[in-house]
Amino acid sequence: MSQKRGLGRGLEALIPSTRDPEQGFAEIEIDEIRPNPQQPRGDFDDEALAGLAESIRSLGLLQPVVVRPDPEGGYFLVAGERRWRAARKAGLSRIPAVIRTSDDREWLTAALVENLQRADLNPLEEAAAFQQLLEDFGLTHEEVGRRVGRSRAAITNSIRLLGLPASIQSRLASGELSAGHARALAAIEDRAFAEHVAKRAVAEGWSVRQVEDAVRLRRGENTQAPRVREVRPAEIIELEMRLAERLGNKVRVDFRQGKGALRIDYRSLEELEKIYRRLMS
């Protein structure tokens, strides 16, 4: 069984260094941390928290929370309340935290991006760092990609790895599965079937192509004959691109005979709220 890496040698490199002994990186007793009383958000999706707690039990907390000292003792959360709640649900007694004496988020965002560009991270640690920039600092997929020199699609595909079952994430973190295998498995909506495919892929040494074929077979697609690609109007493709850039999420427009449907992918209620605000602005 692979060892839980938790924050890991790689992601620890993302924590900005400081000479101030009251700032920097530390592991803190979870009961010493309290939510920010001015945090406007009060609702957290129980199902999403349970999934994150399952991942934390398997791999540890990949993304540190950000806290500031409370003059009366303990710490207030600056960012990461969802992870803090999930860590409590997972039974952790201590969690990694970045300690700041102020809420200087712009400084921390810039430092995380700068260190992310040179840190040696495994695919899950990298995805966790991208997700932290989205979740804690309000960046879009497009903005994260621009800051770290990746395409928006590359950021989206990386973050999708965090939605995989914990058992598959463990195989990815240990190197039993590659990022290519994991990206193919992320396309399977049936989590039990995804775990079955992952287990066979490891046991039988499947290539990425073999995993992709298993996904296509599950969907009833022919893996032998080349697929005839649908010819889509250029203006529809352009509209998709503009919507994706505007919302920072994957967008699909299905168009046939003058009518169709619009699909916008999101991974959490926070993302859905951001999409709503952008559509209403």
Where in the sequence numbering do the catalytic residues fall? 81
Tokens representing 96 are 């990694």
Angle at 116 between CA 15 and CA 68, to 5 degrees: 30
Going by C-beta distance under 8 Å and a sequence separation of 6 or more, which residues neighbour residue 169?
55, 58, 59, 124, 161, 162
Question: CA 139 to CA 68: how far, in whole Å?
Answer: 22
Q: What is the CA radius of gyration of the chain?
A: 20
Question: CA 123 to CA 160: how far, in whole Å?
Answer: 11
Query: Taking Cα atoms as reference points, which of 261, 279, 260 lies closest to residue 271?
Result: 279
9: number of CA atoms within 13 Å, CB side?
3
- CB under 8 A, 24+ apart: contacts of 122-125: 122/5, 122/8, 122/10, 122/172, 122/173, 122/175, 123/158, 123/161, 123/172, 123/179, 123/182, 124/59, 124/62, 124/161, 124/162, 124/169, 124/172, 124/173, 125/5, 125/8, 125/10, 125/11, 125/62
Going by C-beta distance under 8 Å and a sequence separation of 6 or more, which residues neighbour residue 242?
none
Going by C-beta distance under 8 Å and a sequence separation of 6 or more, which residues neighbour residue 205?
none
